[in-house]
Amino acid sequence: MQKSLQQTARGGEKRTGSGACPHMMWLTLLYGCTGGAALLYALYRWVIPAAVQYHGGLALIWHDVIVERMLDTLTQSTRPQRLLGAVQKNATRGDPCSVVKAIDHFCRHKEWAMNVGDEKGCILDSVVSEINPATVLELGTYCGYSTVRIASRLPPHAKLITLEFNPDFAVIARQVIAWAGVEEKVQLVEGASGDWIPKMKEQFGIKTFDLVFLDHWKDRYLPDTKLMEECGLLRKGSVLLADNVICPGTPEYLEYVRNSPRYESRYFKSHLEYTKVEDGLEKSVFLG
């Protein structure tokens, strides 16, 4: 009797031990996975963005390549589509300010995007207000953020032509521009700057541009500036405003506008959109 009791007790011990072991294993695995996921999220959400925000190259690789591709795959949507979603959710139709604010909020708190951004955007606003242009050319529309900023500050009857060669971006930009209610002032033209600049006069009845905002691929700034000169699209007093002259940088363009006797050029120091990396706008007045 005593022996069988001892056996039962031992058996009981044994049963408890064999039940606790997988239980502990699962708990350890669960804690490990949760901890790992939390660590990865913290790295993705705070640690890496904080670490790269002072380095232009790393910031662009992180935000513009790694995060964009990852989110595109996970959400089966594109960054411009997500940006448009944020506009439709948070901005008031017909209110350009609320559109700009919704995009800036999206880019600061959700996903970085290559708009001129809030900080340099203020410089852009002040140049537009100072010139009060009747004709504006924007090279590089992307989702229409800067288009909305410029258009909302134009005087009545002014015209802004914006060029974008990526049709997927153009589709989104049209909707952002319409949501802001500035479509009457904006003509979005799909195609490459090099093809459209020579056709501006005959196709759109443009004589010269009062303001040109250069914000397309950086290696096109200089050839397109020379092309605009050749095509007679610049008059004495026309202003070229170029974004990203430091990051990613446009050294040949800067060298040209700063040293040519045909331009009076000035640098406006700022930061790469939504980061702390130095970048700026170059404002160059064409002297004829």
Ligand X SMILES: C[S@@+](CC[C@H](N)C(=O)[O-])C[C@H]1O[C@@H](n2cnc3c(N)ncnc32)[C@H](O)[C@@H]1O
Q: Which residues bind ligand X (CB under 6 A)?
A: 114-116, 140, 142, 145-146, 163-166, 169, 192-193, 215-217, 220
In whole angstroms, how close is the CB of 60 to ligand X at the nearest point?
11
Residues paired with 163 in a beta bridge: 139, 189
CB nearer to ligand X: pick between 44 and 217: 217
The residue among 240, 249, 254 whose CA lies nearest residue 277 is 249
To the query of whether residue 166 is one of the catalytic residues in this protein, the response is no
Q: Closer CB to ligand X, residue 3 or residue 179? A: 179
Tell me, yes or no, if 218 is annotated catalytic.
yes
Report the C-alpha gap between 34 and 28 in whole angstroms: 10
Any catalytic annotation for residue 132?
Answer: no
User: Is 257 in a helix, a strand, or coil?
Assistant: helix
Question: Which of the residues 118, 210, 273, 282 is marked catalytic?
Answer: 273
CA gap 137, 62 in Å, rounded: 31
Decide: helix, strand or coil at residue 277: coil
DSSP per-residue string spanning 220-241: GHHHHHHHHHHTT-EEEEEEEE
Query: Counting Cβ atoms within 10 Å, is residue 35 exposed (0-12), middle (13-18) or buried (19+)?
Result: exposed
- Which C-beta is closer to ligand X: that of 64 or that of 264? 64
- Buried b vs exposed e over 166-184: b needs ≥16 C-beta within 10 Å? eeebbbbbbbbbebbbbbe
CB of 102 to ligand X, least distance (A): 13
Nearer to ligand X, 13 or 123 (CB): 123
* Residue nearest ligand X (C-beta atom): 140
Least distance from C-beta 117 to ligand X, angstroms? 7
Identified catalytic residue from 164, 210, 215, 224: 215
Least Å distance between CB 20 and ligand X?
59
Catalytic residue among 120, 185, 218, 283: 218
Q: Which of 244, 279, 282, 283 is catalytic?
A: 244
Q: Which residues are catalytic?
A: 215, 218, 243-244, 273
